[in-house]
């Protein structure tokens, strides 16, 4: 691509260069797709920005070929100016060009890009009133329509709504509104930010939201307007989780801003009225689970934080059950979450995989450890691996293995820790189960018993797979057992241990006792 387009970016005649771009791209066989074209063109060095911009404008404003117009759009993403926005909006009326135009507008006018992206969501009826308000420019109407949106919009829609409405600019006026309206806007801002942090779209949308720090800061300043309901408890706790250990930490916050937001959020959560939850158990199991999560998470995230100077910190992240996700053992190095910074295609692995196995313990023998796997599986989009080894009075993380991002290179540095502090943090994290609910604790206790008595499985020619809780019903303990069938194929048993009112310790003991008497290959038959 550098040989194809490089000389044309510095040619003095933009019209002639644009015609040559058309000819060269049309001659490519097979034709290059926009998804491939974008990283290739974006990576081209532009020695003369004025000439490169002129070529891009000719391609965008007069181009007749799809690839040529897309090339101009990619160039404008790096070279465009406000005067280009009207042309891009017009091009965005063509459905086949919506995505390329949105990418270009994102770099020049994010609200305009967001409006175009929202219009492209197949005419979603819940977005129409907001789009009409955005067209009118009436900030009061925009505010009302943002509040009226459902709370379960997709992560991308949540980000685009925040960008299109300029959410971070709407929030500072909440204290001037009638109390119910101000609280409603604060709560909706919390919901939109919460949706942006989900990993169901692999890369968390919060990292694509430049106004994230400002929006979180305004959420924290307005949090005191919220009544202390369970829903609002969950929103603020989720924000605290994100600002303590989540991908949002990777934004450029500036000195003290994230810490100030955390301080304001925790101050609200520590008010007496916020420390009381309904005593009566709900008949709805989902409500019961969420209340239990709130109690557990309050105790976990509001405790005294680790020393900010700690080189390594491991914290368990259990997401609000309203948006179920896998439990993560989040790794922070120098206060930054490692997995989203180095990988970004899925969550960190579960504590059962990283901590209960002892894989992160450093020995003289190097050990490769999988820290994270892509949401879709390793076979599709890869995984993040590191080799852990002890080197004298230091522990070294190096030998990284990770997919290289399209069109780029990934330099992953060797990380060194002071061995005594490293060992202490791993031991602390391994011994802390305050995050775990009863079914999850029963699973961990069962596995600990199996590791202490391997004969319980070997006598049946069975080996341990994974352990945890059922995704659809977190109150059910699940133990995966593997064995080889007579034809040599690998088989899996999912042993489900339901909640029976007994303690996790008793449930684990009963499971281990059953293995002394019954072949697990018969379970469920």
Which tens digit of pLDDT belongs to each residue from 179-197? 999 999 999 999 999 999 9
Q: Is the pLDDT of residue 59 over 70?
A: yes
Provide mean pLDDT across the span 503-525.
92
**Winning range, highest mean pLDDT, from 170-184, 463-477, 488-502:** 170-184
pLDDT one-digit tens code per residue, 428-470: 999 999 999 999 999 999 999 999 999 999 999 999 999 999 9
Which of 300, 286, 311 is closest to 433 using CA atoms?
300
pLDDT at 32 over 90: no
**Under 8 Å between Cβ of 88 and 108:** yes
DSSP letters spanning 329-358: EEEEETTEEHHHHHT-SSPBPPHHHHTTT-
Q: What is the share, in percent, of the chain residues with pLDDT greater than 70?
A: 96
Report the pLDDT value the prediction gives residue 511, as an integer from 0 to 100.
96
pTM of the model: 0.92
Question: Cα separation of 25 and 31, whole Å?
Answer: 7
Q: What percent of the chain has pLDDT over 90?
A: 81
Bridge partners of 480, per DSSP, are: 494
Q: Answer for the pair 199, 347: CB distance below 8 angstroms, yes or no.
A: yes
Res 307: pLDDT = 57
Q: What pLDDT was estimated at residue 524? A: 65
Task: Count CB neighbours of 424 within 10 A.
Answer: 13
Which of 62-76, 248-262, 277-291, 450-464 has the lowest average pLDDT? 277-291
Residue 471 has what pLDDT? 87
Pairwise CA distance, residues 238 & 81, whole Å? 38
Distance CA 420, CA 427 (A): 11
pLDDT band at 201 (very low <50, low <70, confident <90, very high): low
- At 372, the pLDDT band (50, 70, 90 cuts) reads very high
Domain ranges of the chain: 2-108, 116-278, 312-431, 438-522
pLDDT at 407: 44
Q: How far is 61 from 335, CA to CA, in rounded Å?
A: 46
pLDDT digit string, tens, across residues 36-46? 888 888 888 89
Taking all residues of the chain, what is their mean pLDDT, rounded to a whole number? 93
- SS3 of residue 383 by DSSP: strand
State the Cα–Cα distance between residues 293 and 270, nearest whole angstrom. 17
Whole-angstrom CA distances from 376 to 202, 344, 346 are: 8, 12, 8
């Amino acid at each position: 691509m550098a040989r194809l387009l490089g000389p044309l970016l510095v040619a003095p005649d933009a019209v002639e260069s644009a015609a040559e771009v058309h000819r060269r791209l049309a001659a490519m066989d097979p034709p290059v797709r926009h998804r491939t074209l974008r990283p290739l063109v974006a990576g081209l060095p532009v020695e003369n920005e004025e000439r490169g911009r002129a070529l891009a404008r000719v391609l965008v404003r007069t181009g007749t070929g799809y690839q040529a117009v897309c090339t101009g759009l990619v160039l404008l993403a790096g070279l465009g100016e406000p005067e280009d926005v009207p042309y891009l909006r017009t091009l965005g009326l063509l459905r086949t060009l919506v995505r390329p135009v949105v990418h270009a507008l994102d770099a020049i006018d994010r609200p305009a890009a967001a409006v175009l992206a929202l219009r492209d969501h197949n005419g979603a009826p819940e977005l129409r009133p907001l789009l009409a308000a955005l067209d009118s420019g009436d900030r009061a109407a925009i505010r009302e329509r943002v509040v009226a949106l459902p709370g379960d919009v997709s992560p991308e829609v949540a980000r685009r709504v925040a960008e299109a409405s300029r959410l971070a600019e709407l929030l500072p006026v909440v204290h001037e509104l009638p109390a119910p309206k101000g609280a409603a806007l604060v709560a909706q801002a919390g919901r939109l930010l919460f949706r942006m942090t989900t990993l169901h779209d692999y890369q968390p949308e919060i990292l694509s939201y430049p106004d994230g720090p400002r929006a979180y800061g305004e959420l924290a300043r307005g949090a005191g307007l919220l009544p202390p309901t369970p829903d609002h408890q969950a929103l603020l706790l989720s924000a605290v989780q994100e600002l303590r250990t989540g991908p949002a930490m990777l934004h450029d916050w500036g000195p003290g801003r994230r810490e100030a937001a955390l301080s304001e959020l925790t101050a609200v959560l520590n008010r007496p009225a916020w420390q009381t939850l309904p005593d009566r158990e709900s008949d709805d199991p989902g409500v019961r689970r969420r209340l239990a999560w709130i109690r557990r998470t309050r105790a976990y995230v509001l405790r005294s934080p680790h020393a900010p100077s700690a080189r390594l910190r491991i914290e368990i992240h259990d997401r609000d059950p309203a948006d179920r996700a896998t439990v993560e053992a989040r790794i922070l190095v120098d206060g930054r979450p490692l997995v989203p910074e180095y990988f970004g295609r899925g969550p960190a692995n579960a504590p059962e995989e990283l901590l209960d196995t002892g894989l992160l313990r450093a020995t003289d023998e190097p050990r490769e450890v999988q820290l994270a796997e892509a949401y879709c599986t390793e076979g599709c989009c890869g995984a993040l691996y590191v080799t852990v080894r002890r080197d004298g009075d230091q522990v070294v993380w190096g030998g990284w293995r990770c997919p290289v991002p399209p069109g780029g290179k990934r330099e992953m540095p060797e990380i060194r820790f002071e061995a005594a502090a490293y060992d202490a943090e791993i031991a602390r994290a391994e011994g802390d189960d305050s995050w775990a609910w009863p079914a999850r604790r029963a699973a961990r206790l069962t596995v600990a018993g199996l590791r202490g008595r391997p004969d319980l499985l070997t006598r049946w020619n069975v080996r341990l797979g994974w352990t945890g809780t059922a995704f659809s019903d977190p109150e059910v303990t699940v133990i995966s057992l593997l064995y080889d069938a007579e034809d040599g194929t690998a088989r899996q048993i999912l042993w489900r241990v339901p909640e029976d009112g007994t303690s996790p310790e008793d449930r684990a003991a009963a499971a281990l006792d059953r293995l002394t008497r019954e072949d697990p290959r018969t379970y469920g038959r």
